[in-house]
Amino acid sequence: MHTLLPTSIVGSLPKPSWLAEPETLWSPWKLQGDALVQGKHDALRIAVHEQRQHGIDIISDGEQTRQHFVTTFIEHLTGVDFEQRETVRIRDRYDASVPTVVGAVSREKPVFVEDAKFLRQQTDQPIKWALPGPMTMIDTLYDRHYKSREKLAWEFATILNQEARELQAAGVDIIQFDEPAFNVFHDEVQDWGVAALERAAEGLRAETAVHICYGYGIKANTDWKATLGPEWRHYEKSFPLLQQSTIDIVSLECHHSRVPMDLIELIRGKKVMLGAIDVASETIETPEDVADTLRKALKFVAPDKLLPSSNCGMAPFSRNVARGKMKALTAGADIIREELTAARP
């Protein structure tokens, strides 16, 4: 476990082929009933083992117990009807058939808390748990009840806060909210997005993180990225607001992206979970590739606030590619740790 430049993955890892169809997002489970419960736990054990084996410092569940990072959480809430579906545009990018909010939303019982307790039993290293952010949640639903994105986001923030407090009690060290929608709806981020995020994180002793990215390496996202021009300045809108917020860590996509590195300056003082692994390409980075990205970032973030990570989740990869990328992340961070240690008087 490194205290300098502790590494982590953003979220998902590929699932074993006996649990779900490999290299597929939203892949249906191959097991049922008790066998599925056991299978998810076995997959989680493997995910922990592989992270530790490849030198990852902050351990995640690899999202082995969930089908999708947003939908699985919403499935456990009341007020949402999964039978009534409407087609909506997700993050202004692609159409999807989504469930409908038909009444007041609420969380009758914990969603991921038992899984988090199980993860806690597997390792003494710090653990991180990801939840969807309020704005990203409302963007994957059709709302017939509140008829206001802000109101629905606020309700979800309250629910997320309940879940986050119980995850913290289960021993989770870092609670991460995934908000890719922050890179799309800039006016809403300013009007109520960051406030809703802070509401979700309110009163937590655990460290809190927000992950904002340009999405998984799927076609709808890579096509969208191709239209974004030579410089991706989207973080310029959210970072100054996050710098002033109560959130401790900002997770961003960086490696092989067109995000200008100096935008990190806008979150000066916050911890930066820096994407130094590309999730849109199966090519495994060399340790020097990773080190190069980290070195450039260190112009804008203090060494004790830099957390090397991946750009986003790795679910769509083969397991070999994911393993190779974790190894590269560790080896790249090692290079920079040595440089930083050697530079000390």
Piece of the chain touching Zn ion by CB under 5 A; list 51-59, 189-197, 270-278, 304-312 = 304-312
Specify the residue, 94 or 162, whose C-beta has the smaller distance to Zn ion: 94
13 touching Zn ion, by CB under 5 A: no
Q: Which residues inside 206-245 make contact with Zn ion, applying CB under 5 A?
A: 213
Shortest approach of Zn ion to residue 10 CB, angstroms? 6
Specify the residue, 215 or 324, whose C-beta has the smaller distance to Zn ion: 215
Number of residues that bind Zn ion (CB under 5 A): 2
152 touching Zn ion, by CB under 5 A: no
Specify the residue, 100 or 221, whose C-beta has the smaller distance to Zn ion: 221
Shortest approach of Zn ion to residue 69 CB, angstroms? 8
Specify the residue, 113 or 250, whose C-beta has the smaller distance to Zn ion: 250
The set of residues, in sequence order, having a beta carbon less than 8 Å from that of 204 and lying 6+ positions away, is 164, 165, 168, 175
Specify the residue, 276 or 312, whose C-beta has the smaller distance to Zn ion: 312
Q: Using an 8 Å Cβ cutoff, are 133 and 179 in contact?
A: yes
Q: How far is CA 230 from CA 226, 227, 233, 259, 281, in A?
A: 9, 9, 10, 9, 19
Residues 44, 59: Cα–Cα separation, whole Å: 11
Indicate which single residue of 164, 312, 315, 336 sits in contact with Zn ion (rule: CB under 5 A): 312
Residues 204, 166: Cα–Cα separation, whole Å: 10
Binding site for Zn ion (CB under 5 A): 213, 312
